[in-house]
Amino acid sequence: MKLASWNVNSLTIRLPQVLTWLQTQPVDALALQELKLTDDKFPHQEFEALGYHSVCFGQKTYNGVAIVSRSPLRDVVRNIAGFDDEQARVIAGTMDTEFGELRLINGYFVNGNAPATEKFEYKMRWLSGLHNWVRQEISLHPRLALVGDFNIAPEDRDSHDPEGLRETIHHTTEERDHFKALLALGLQDAYRCFEQADKSFSWWDYREMAFRRNRGLRIDHILVSAALRDRLKACTIDRAPRKNERPSDHAPVIAEF
């Protein structure tokens, strides 16, 4: 079984790339972030033609998340239970797999803009709300994966310039502490369960030839519960779509079980 996560930075623009990718990388579930479209515009039929079911939670112009999966999702939840939020950032559902039920939570985490701003404070509140909810979800669903664009580089090795960017957005102690708190719930960073090449990133700015120079960040993650970790075989970042014409600035992350 394979799970993947990809911030597509506008599904309207990137839909042909996503469909082509699914044909070459037939994953069992793909979590999408930053759709930038409303629910009525979501291309369910295009995914259905490839054999996928889909659920979405969209918003005009900004945000938006979806899951496309081989198995239908049930018990679908939109946004963080118990956290009042007008932005479409989270969708979760339960799917059947070869080894039982799996709870998949897909999040487009708050960017935060810069420390000591109102948007950063919103990010801190949002992360606290997520933590409280995921703690409940894990107690109900032993096989759980929390995936998405976290907008957090958890460690220095997840940044192309850890010293120059220290305590800036994505690199602050507060953000990294929230990431550690999620791991403390019993989750593991699937990518770091394996030896990986140095300077492995999932996001590169469009400016200053950042991708060509590999000046990136690893901010897209797949966290898995202990029951899934026991079945985890590999976790990789697929850089190929970042080479497309008009690509997303993010690359897909894939976990294989």
Q: Tokens 């394996």 belong to which residue?
A: 194
Q: Are 7 and 33 in contact (CB under 8 A)?
A: yes
Phi and psi at residue 170, to the nearest 5°? 80, -15
Q: Which CATH class is domain 2-256?
A: alpha beta
Query: What's residue 212's pLDDT?
Result: 97
Residue 33 binned pLDDT confidence (cut-offs 50, 70, 90): very high
Cα within 13 Å of Cα(252), Cβ side: 25
Nearest to 34 by CA among 109, 100, 94: 109
Give me the active site residues, please: 108, 149
**Mean pLDDT for the chain overall:** 98
pLDDT at res. 162:
98
Residue with tokens 């420390």: 115
The per-residue pLDDT for range 72-107, each reduced to its tens digit, is 999 999 999 999 999 999 999 999 999 999 999 999
Here the tokens at position 108 are 């487009």
The percent of residues above 90 in pLDDT, for the chain, comes to 100
Q: What is the pLDDT of residues 192-242, one digit of tens each?
A: 999 999 999 999 999 999 999 999 999 999 999 999 999 999 999 999 999
Whole-number Cα distances in Å, 206 to 150, 201, 242, 244: 19, 14, 10, 12
Give the pLDDT of residue 75: 98
pLDDT in tens, 138-166: 999 999 999 999 999 999 999 999 999 99
- Let me know: does 103 contact 143? Beta carbons within 8 Å: yes
Classify the C-alpha dihedral 229-234-236-240 as positive or negative: negative
**What pLDDT, on a 0 to 100 scale, did the predictor assign at position 248?**
98
> Bridge partners of 106?
91, 147
Domain ranges of the chain: 2-256
Rounded Cα distance between 131 and 80, Å, is: 10
pLDDT above 70 coverage of the chain, percent: 100
The C-alpha atoms of residue 62 and residue 34 are separated, in whole angstroms, by 7
Q: Compute the distance between CA of residue 138 and CA of residue 224 in angstroms, rounded to an integer.
A: 10
pLDDT tens digit string along 7-23?
999 999 999 999 999 99
Question: What values do phi and psi take at 213, rounded to 5?
Answer: -90, 0
